[in-house]
Structure 1
Amino acid sequence: MTTRPAAPSTSRPRSAARVLLGAFMTLAGVGHLTFQRQEFQAQVPTWLPVNRDAVVLGSGVLEVAFGLAMLSGRRRRTVGLALAAFFVLIFPGNVSQYVSRQSAFGLDTDQKRLTRLFFQPVLVAWALWSTGALQRQGAPGRPGAGGGRRED
């Protein structure tokens, strides 16, 4: 019989941060698919030879999925790692928006667009911390070893 490793421990602040990020991701994904499609198209790198609308729709579906996964609280560690990777993968779009001086989401000056770039690492850290993705796993009950609630 195989046992699964214990889930990373959680706390109320971590859980609240995870739920808040999940709600944010779900709303952002819905925005991609509906009322903010044109705004999000400004973040698709200009050098990328793809249909901007297809990229926005695809990333919207992913963001809704990430949001719902964060809200569910299941497989927190895996979801946190995947969401952090997603934030890293979409960073070139933010750089492109800055370099090409595309205005969207109120980012209508170079200073605002530059400031936005520094927020991406915050999102990566938020995804990792709120899900306990970087906590060590080990035997349940060992302090710091992820001996908290089970993920599933």
Structure 2
Amino acid sequence: MKTNNIQNLMRIFLGGLMTLAGIGHLTFQRQEFQAQVPRWLPSSPEFMDFVVISSGILEIALGLALIFWIKNKVKIGIGLAIFYVLIFPGNISQYTNGIDAFGLDTDRKRLIRLFFQPVLIMWVLWSTGAFKYLLNLKKK
């Protein structure tokens, strides 16, 4: 799927953000990301750390793929959009349980953050050409 220069720039930028976030999972933001693990999952420190580490590895892989695996950018975009949907319960859990992390130290800030997940989904689908691809599938 052909994308323009602005889409390509935004795809690469998002890939960089994803890679940085993934590195944060594994290093300097590990405890912050543990706040995102939904409270309805097992709460043992080992399990929560496993969730953070494995999602961090996946974020690094998706971020780098978004930047470098251009031939499959539509599939990667769809995959990353699905990933954003799958991690959304962690954001909801942070809000409903009043957990402070990433500077989100009020219910208002945590609620506002919930509205950014759809923006990320739209961003990745648009910047990879996946929107156009999915619309063309629907027409067939």
The alignment's TM-score, normalised by the length of structure 2, stands at 0.91
2:56 is equivalent to residue 63 of structure 1: no
User: Which structure's residues are more often helix, by fraction?
Assistant: 2
2:94 is equivalent to residue 101 of structure 1: no
More contact order relative to length (CA 8 Å, sep ≥ 6): 1
2:115 is equivalent to residue 122 of structure 1: no
Q: CA deviation at 1:37?
A: 0.3
- Structure 2: how far apart are the matches of 1:29 and 1:108? 22
Q: CA deviation at 1:102?
A: 0.4
**Which residues in structure 2 correspond to 1:5-20 (within 5 Å)?**
8-20=1-13
- Structure 2: how far apart are the matches of 1:74 and 1:103? 40
Q: Which runs of 4+ in 1 moved over 3 A?
A: none
Q: CA deviation at 1:9?
A: 1.0
Q: CA deviation at 1:47?
A: 1.0
**Which residues in structure 2 correspond to 1:1-152 (within 5 Å)?**
8-49=1-42, 51-72=47-68, 73-136=70-133
The alignment's TM-score, normalised by the length of structure 1, stands at 0.84
Cα-Cα RMSD: 1.5
- Structure 2: how far apart are the matches of 1:88 and 1:101? 21
**Where does the alignment leave 5 or more consecutive residues of structure 1 unmatched?**
1-7, 138-143, 146-152
- Structure 2: how far apart are the matches of 1:35 and 1:83? 23
Q: How many percent identity over aligned positions? A: 58
CA 1:82/1:100 → structure 2, altered by over 3 Å: closer, same or farther?
A: same
Q: What amino acid is aligned across from residue 29 of structure 1 in structure 2?
A: G
- Structure 2: how far apart are the matches of 1:136 and 1:75? 12
- Structure 2: how far apart are the matches of 1:47 and 1:127? 28
Q: What is the number of equivalent residue pairs in this alignment? A: 132
**Where does the alignment leave 5 or more consecutive residues of structure 2 unmatched?**
none
- Structure 2: how far apart are the matches of 1:15 and 1:61? 23
